[in-house]
Amino acid sequence: MSSFVSTHLLWGVSGLFFYALLGVALEFLLAYKVPAFVDVENSERRLLFRLAHAHGTLLSLLQLGFAFILTQKKSPTIGRRLRVASGTLSAGTLLIPAGFFLGGLDARSGDPGLLVALVPAGAFLLLVGLGLTFWDLWTGRAADEHQDAL
């Protein structure tokens, strides 16, 4: 198994564990009506924490999907495009939920904290990684069809 595959499997599984744990913690705060979480003036914090949980969980699944894509490559090595995609997908997976969570820690008067600015940066990196992955798969598909025609 390539190091890229094992890295993305680790990102995916550890992310699912961490964000499931975060979800349990949020349920605990809700069940015990912790004022810092449930009071009306903290609705922005509650929303941002929930967004961190949801995005983190889904992006962890994306990491597992990317690991699967890497296992389907015919070549034992991956090209430059997928190496860059690997890094940008991992950075996006880290920055998006972190931005929501850290923005929620400092939420005041209905406004998120400044660190919510990590979210658009992470979204940009995520889109770059997805675009590079699509491009690699599309050009690989075209090359396979050309090879089959010969």
The Cα 31–Cα 1 span in angstroms is 43
pLDDT in tens, 91-134: 999 999 999 999 999 998 889 999 999 999 999 999 999 999 99
Higher pLDDT pick, 109 / 145: 109
Higher pLDDT pick, 130 / 141: 130
Q: What is the pTM of this model?
A: 0.91
User: Which pair of tokens denotes residue 45?
Assistant: 């914090």
In order of 18, 70, 104, the CA distances from 53 in angstroms are 9, 26, 12
pLDDT above 80 for 46: yes
Q: Give every CB contact of residue 133 below 8 A, 6+ residues apart in sequence.
A: 66, 69, 81, 82, 85, 89
pLDDT above 90 for 77: no
For the ranges 22-26, 35-39, 74-78, 82-86, which has the lowest average pLDDT? 74-78
pLDDT at 147: 57
pLDDT in tens, 5-36: 999 999 999 999 999 999 999 999 999 999 98
Residues 24, 82: contact at Cβ < 8 Å? no
pLDDT at 83: 95
Per-residue 3-state assignment (H helix, E strand, C coil) for 88-142: HHHHHHHHHHHHHHHHHHCCECCECCHHHHHHHHHHHHHHHHHHHHHHHHHHHHH
pLDDT at 149: 55
